């Protein structure tokens, strides 16, 4: 084997190792794969330093030995820490990571020793290769290492053993690709041991790391393919499972829609039935009273005073039926809002004039002009005020004070006009308050239970909201929240 051929092989291997490093680096950058492959790219470039350094030393001879040996050993020192870091990332075992960090610190220290000239003793150079007859013509050189340099070879053996143990544990943990890397790692560790013994003079042989690393690189690339093959199979299984679950979810959703439609139908029927029962109950009592009164009027013995009394009863119950039908039509009919500028001062004063002698109505208006007018339907707001004032008066049969306070409020994050109707009546307990808006629910013998539901429908048609705060024995506050500007009103209605 001629020196030229040997130098060509080493140079070709150095170029290949640089290309391998580029492959793993580009693969990591393009597909964002695991970090261990980026570390392996750095490891490949470090081995390229070893190959290039040996080729340089063989080509140029003893005069550049200190420089070629420094390049070779810089690559070797980097390889030790990078290989342990690669294994730590590859097997994903946290217990080995402290060793990898220790190797980085050791590498930094030994790099300083190499660059500082503490690695070799200034002695005569020895030609290597006498163990191989075919290499007798290749002038490989070896210098005499110091104790500092010799200690590195011992430490590198320890780190190599740690890497081997970690790969064995990973393979035994059923990590298939670890077996492939384990084979290449074992060869690389054996080559490291060979080269270390060659350098210290205990073995007369060639350096093997540049040659073995080519096989090691191939096996690591194969592990990359195996890992992604396993990941792709896992993705196929996951996609199949997800498709099955999606189909199950689609069927469940369809079943849920059927159940929901059925539930809505039953709820509507229940609401219609409840409404019909409430109407029948409200109508039956006045009709029964009217029937009894008419029967009394038909008696020949009915006196004039009794006849007047019975006619008054018929008139009262007929009016009650008329109010019930009127409120029912108001509640059932769609609310059509004809907006215009409505002065709250006039509405409040009108409500004040409707009060009787036993009830005092106090109107509190702010000084802010924008709180005195709203864009609303005047007729509908009059109905709202009439209902609320009527309810407040009926809650205080012995008289009392009713306050109508207008102020600035907040509705869905926007400024609004807040109208509070406050009475000093008996108030409501929690059970009655929770049903205050329910149609036909009333605690008054002559009430229809549609006043507050009508108020709520009108205010919501204006894009507002109704709030009720009441405490038993302390009175009730009914708050109306109305948007100030037409844009906010339109947004709420939409």
Which residue did the predictor score with more confidence, 103 or 205? Answer: 103
More confident residue, 135 or 96: 96
Cα 262 from Cα 265, distance rounded (Å):
5
| 138 pLDDT tier (thresholds 50, 70, 90) | very low
Confidence bin at 234 (pLDDT 50/70/90): confident
Which of 320-324, 355-359, 447-451 is most confident? Answer: 320-324
The SS3 of residue 478 is strand
pLDDT of residue 154: 83
By percentage, how much of the chain surpasses pLDDT 90? 2
What's the CA gap between 451 and 331, in Å, rounded? Answer: 9
**pLDDT above 50 (res 489):** no
Instruction: Check residue 142 and give its pLDDT.
Output: 58
In the predicted model, what is the mean pLDDT of residues 218-225?
A: 74
Q: Report helix, strand or coil for 405.
A: strand
333-377 pLDDT, tens per residue? 677 788 888 888 788 777 666 556 778 888 888 888 788 888 888
**Angstrom distance (rounded) from CA 369 to CA 381:** 19
pLDDT at 74 over 50: yes
Q: For the residues 277-286, what does the mean pLDDT come to? A: 73
pLDDT at residue 33 greater than cutoff 80? no
pLDDT at 479: 92
Greatest Cα pair distance, the chain, in angstroms, is 153
Residues pairing with 361 in the sheet: 402
- Write down the pLDDT at residue 133: 42
Mean pLDDT of 424-429: 84
Count of H-run helices and E-run strands, the chain: 13, 9
Is residue 57 pLDDT above 50, yes or no? yes
Residue of higher predicted confidence among 490 and 156: 156
Q: Residue 426's pLDDT band (boundaries 50, 70, 90)? A: confident
């Amino acid at each position: 084997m001629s020196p030229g051929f040997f130098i060509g092989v080493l140079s070709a291997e150095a170029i290949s190792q640089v290309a391998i490093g580029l492959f793993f680096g580009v693969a990591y950058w393009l597909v964002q794969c695991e970090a261990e492959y980026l570390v392996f790219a750095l490891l490949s470039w470090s081995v390229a330093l070893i190959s290039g350094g040996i080729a340089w030393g063989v080509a140029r001879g003893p005069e550049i030995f200190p420089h070629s040996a420094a390049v070779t050993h810089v690559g070797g020192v980097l390889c030790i820490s990078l290989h342990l870091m690669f294994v730590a990332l590859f097997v994903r075992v946290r217990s080995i990571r402290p060793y990898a960090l220790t190797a980085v610190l050791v590498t930094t220290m030994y790099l300083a020793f190499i660059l500082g000239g503490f690695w070799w003793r200034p002695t005569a150079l020895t030609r290597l290769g006498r163990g191989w007859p075919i290499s007798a013509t290749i002038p490989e050189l070896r210098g005499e290492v110091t104790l500092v340099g010799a200690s590195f070879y011992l430490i590198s053996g320890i780190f190599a053993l740690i890497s081997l143990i970690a790969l064995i544990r990973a393979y035994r943990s059923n990590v298939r690709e670890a077996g492939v890397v384990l084979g290449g790692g074992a060869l690389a560790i054996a080559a490291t041991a060979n080269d270390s013994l060659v350098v210290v003079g205990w073995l007369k042989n060639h350096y093997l790391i540049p040659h073995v690393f080519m096989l090691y690189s191939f096996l690591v690339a194969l592990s990359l393919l195996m890992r992604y093959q396993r990941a792709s199979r896992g993705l196929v299984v996951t996609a199949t499972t997800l498709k099955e679950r999606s189909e199950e979810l689609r069927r469940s959703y369809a079943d849920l829609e059927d159940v929901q439609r059925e539930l809505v139908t039953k709820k509507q029927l229940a609401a219609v039935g409840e409404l019909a029962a409430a109407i029948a109950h409200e109508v039956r009592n006045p009709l029964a009273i009217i029937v009894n009164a008419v029967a009394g009027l038909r008696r020949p013995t009915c006196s004039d005073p009794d006849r007047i009394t019975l006619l008054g009863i018929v008139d009262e119950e007929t009016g009650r039926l008329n109010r019930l039908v009127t409120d029912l039509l108001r509640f059932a009919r769609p609310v059509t809002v004809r907006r215009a500028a409505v002065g709250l001062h006039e509405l409040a004063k009108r409500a004040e004039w409707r009060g009787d002698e036993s009830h005092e109505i106090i109107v509190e208006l702010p000084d802010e002009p924008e709180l005195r007018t709203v864009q609303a339907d005047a007729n509908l707001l009059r109905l709202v005020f009439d209902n609320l004032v009527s309810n407040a008066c009926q809650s205080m049969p012995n008289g009392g004070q009713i306050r109508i306070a207008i102020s600035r409020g907040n509705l869905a994050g926007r400024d609004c006009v807040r109208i509070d109707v406050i009475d000093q009546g008996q108030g409501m307990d929690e059970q009655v308050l929770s049903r205050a808006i329910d149609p036909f629910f009333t605690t008054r013998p002559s009430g229809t239970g549609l006043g507050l539901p009508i108020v709520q429908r009108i205010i919501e048609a204006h894009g507002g909201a109704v709030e009720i705060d009441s405490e038993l024995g302390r009175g009730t506050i009914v708050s109306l929240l109305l948007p100030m500007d037409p844009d906010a009103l339109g947004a709420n209605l939409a």
